[in-house]
Structure 1
Amino acid sequence: MMRFSLRATAATTATVLCTALGVFASMGTATAAAAVPNGEWAPFTRCPVDAPAMLAADGLDRTPQCVVSTSPNGSIKLGRTTVPTGRTNLQIGVVQNSDGTSSVVAPPGGALIADSATVPGGLLGLMCPSDIPAISDICEQLSDSTLNKITATVESVGTPYDFDQTAGIVTDKPIVAIPVRIHLKNPFLGSKCYIGTAAKPVVLRPENLQFPEFGMSFFRGDGTVAEDGEMSRVNLTGAAQNDSTFAVPGASGCGLGLLGLIDAAVNAKTGLPSAAGKNTLTLNNAQTHLAGLTAPGTFAPDAGKRLAENWHSAVD
């Protein structure tokens, strides 16, 4: 007999949606500390269960859930430069509202954690050769592999928005808008070299390329598997997402006191700014898990508090 309520069915929809959120974590920072929960809670190391919006979810009008989405690899093309992406991990809280809308809650340290990516060709490939004398001087010094290497990390610059619940169960429909910026790191670039800013971010709107495989488990609050458990976990695996609709602004803040010369050189070589339709993001083999109360209404008005208690019981 199907034990998943109508609200849990909505949660399943949200899970598919949140699979696509993994795309913007593809080159994030892998330094944030995380808890290590037990059992079925194991993937949910950073769920923001203690956030006010999550705790306030009553289980009737507002239902709280934890979402994690991971991917082993992918790629992102910005202008004329394509960068492979590495291991990713996105974690968020989602509050499902009774009117069909959803809101996203990020962990205190940010939603994105992933391996940084190395830019192919390094600084030589990113801005050399150049007819700007100061840049040419730098190019001549880049035979040293340490100086030439560039890493790129994607950083969130705001909470995702325009969350479309129905888009997660179909293909070729934007799921969510995700504002990010890309941090380029190299000794010659300084510490403030970015593609995109908080004011003018790269906004990703991923969509499913295929339907994920579906699975479900039930467990007790502490993570122990149990058919009569008050918690349920939806598992969606093997999906890929893509976005080719986003525009990319030019690089800014690059270079140590060279008055924008490196910005200009990077933008000229890579073809930035780049209009929508000329850039592409692909995330391979996304794995998404969503955990929530199997029957959240039975814990009203304290569903959010119950979810938090259960998560902490698996961690503490």
Structure 2
Amino acid sequence: MRPVLKSWRTGLLAAAATAALVVPVIASPAGAAAAAPQLNGNWAPFNRCPVDAPAMLATDGDSEIALCVTSTSPSGTIKLGNTTATTGATNLQFGVVQHPAEGTYSVVPPAAGSIISDRTTIPGGLIGLMCPSDIPFVTSICNQITNGTLNKVTATVESAGAPKDFDLVAGLSSGPIVSLPIRIHLENPFLGSGCYLGSSSNPIVLHPGNLSQPELGVTLFDPNGATNPEGSLIQFALTGASQGDSTFSVPKSSGCGLGGLLNGVLDLKTGLPAGSGKNNLVLNNASTYTVGLTAPGAVVPDAGKILSDNWHSAVK
């Protein structure tokens, strides 16, 4: 095996553990998955890594080191107040710039967003969220819900700010790993297009952490993705773990219905606002992969550009 700088190896292990999380997205950003290329071999999980982002390309391999991170979960659950929804398969991808001297990391998200996932609907739909009601105009809406289209409520998790507060020690153990500000977009013909739980100014902030200890695997491979014990790229895999959080709060809804008339009805039925301990996130069997150059210090100052070239050489 080629020599690996101690600070780089320690940092990559920490980054892999830190990134062992998936935000529960309940609907996919349009076209995000379709636009991503397919990659060969060990590069395959990293098809949305922002290797061409200026911050990634500028890394020299010494003071700054570029990494690609991806994390997936086949299923999970999220409880918001009195409402619990099952999440489908989720995928989180982003780049990371490691600053070895400071022991810090900067997240570099893909241009189209970090998160995609299978679509899931809210159990019970609009009837479950606000019916029955003794408010006349709400009762009128409930009486109009005569088919699945009018009743169906879908939800999309959207970014409400940049991730922050990485804790590398927690990534290898059981504490909060990172703070992720999000908002949840609820959609239904009666709710309109501006119905949200959380906002950019008052987000839901998730603090996911490991619920079980992941298994660690290491693979070296060539720029084209083929496994090679002497390869110039190294991949760390953390598998078989679950992540979760029960400490986050959920604010009142906003923008639901014409002029926000349905905000109070939704809040009353779903128990919002809901403080810490009344909400819960569980992500099952998450698998996280982190990749970078085996010896970035050997290719200073072009490490970021070389990582990008390697990624592009693996595109099918």
Q: Quickly name the TM-score band, shorter chain normalised.
A: over 0.9
Whether contact under 8 Å (2:2, 2:294) holds in the other structure is no
In the other structure, the counterpart of 1:111 is 114
The normalised TM-score by structure 2 is 0.95
- C-alpha separation in 1, matches of 2:19 and 2:108: 12
Question: What is the count of residue pairs matched by the alignment?
Answer: 311
1:27 CA displacement: 2.2
- 1:191-249 CA-to-partner distances (Å, cap 9, x unmatched) read 11111111111100011111111111111112121111100111111110111111101
Whether contact under 8 Å (2:52, 2:308) holds in the other structure is yes
Amino acid at match of 2:292: G
1:28 CA displacement: 4.2
- C-alpha separation in 2, matches of 1:83 and 1:5: 44
Amino acid at match of 2:289: H
In the other structure, the counterpart of 1:26 is 25
Q: Is 1:213 aligned to residue 215 of structure 2?
A: yes
1:85 CA displacement: 0.7
- C-alpha separation in 2, matches of 1:51 and 1:25: 25
- C-alpha separation in 2, matches of 1:191 and 1:275: 26
In the other structure, the counterpart of 2:11 is 10
SS of equivalent to 1:162: coil
In the other structure, the counterpart of 1:264 is 264
1:302 CA displacement: 1.2
1:313 CA displacement: 1.0
- C-alpha separation in 1, matches of 2:24 and 2:224: 28
- C-alpha separation in 2, matches of 1:84 and 1:28: 12
Whether contact under 8 Å (1:26, 1:73) holds in the other structure is no
Q: CA RMSD in A?
A: 1.4
The one of 180, 183, 204 aligned to 1:181: 183
In the other structure, the counterpart of 2:280 is 280
- 1:162-187 CA-to-partner distances (Å, cap 9, x unmatched) read 1111111111x111000111111111
In the other structure, the counterpart of 1:78 is 80
The normalised TM-score by structure 1 is 0.95
| Pairs within 5 Å for 1:287-306 | 287-306=287-306
1:4 CA displacement: 4.3
- C-alpha separation in 1, matches of 2:248 and 2:311: 36
Whether contact under 8 Å (2:207, 2:248) holds in the other structure is yes
SS of equivalent to 2:71: strand
| 1:25–1:93 distance in 2 versus 1, CA, 3 Å | farther
1:143 CA displacement: 3.1
The one of 225, 237, 250 aligned to 1:223: 225
- C-alpha separation in 2, matches of 1:150 and 1:226: 48
- C-alpha separation in 1, matches of 2:262 and 2:25: 25
**Runs of 4+ more than 6 Å apart:** none
SS of equivalent to 2:126: helix
Q: Is 1:69 aligned to residue 71 of structure 2?
A: yes
In the other structure, the counterpart of 1:241 is 243
In the other structure, the counterpart of 1:144 is 147
- C-alpha separation in 2, matches of 1:94 and 1:159: 13
Whether contact under 8 Å (1:74, 1:84) holds in the other structure is yes
Amino acid at match of 2:48: R
- C-alpha separation in 2, matches of 1:209 and 1:4: 30
Amino acid at match of 2:13: T
- C-alpha separation in 1, matches of 2:133 and 2:312: 55
1:109 CA displacement: 0.4
Q: Which 5+ residue runs of structure 1 have no aligned equivalent?
A: none
Amino acid at match of 1:282: V
Q: Which 5+ residue runs of structure 2 have no aligned equivalent?
A: none
The one of 152, 155, 158 aligned to 2:161: 158
Whether contact under 8 Å (2:72, 2:288) holds in the other structure is yes
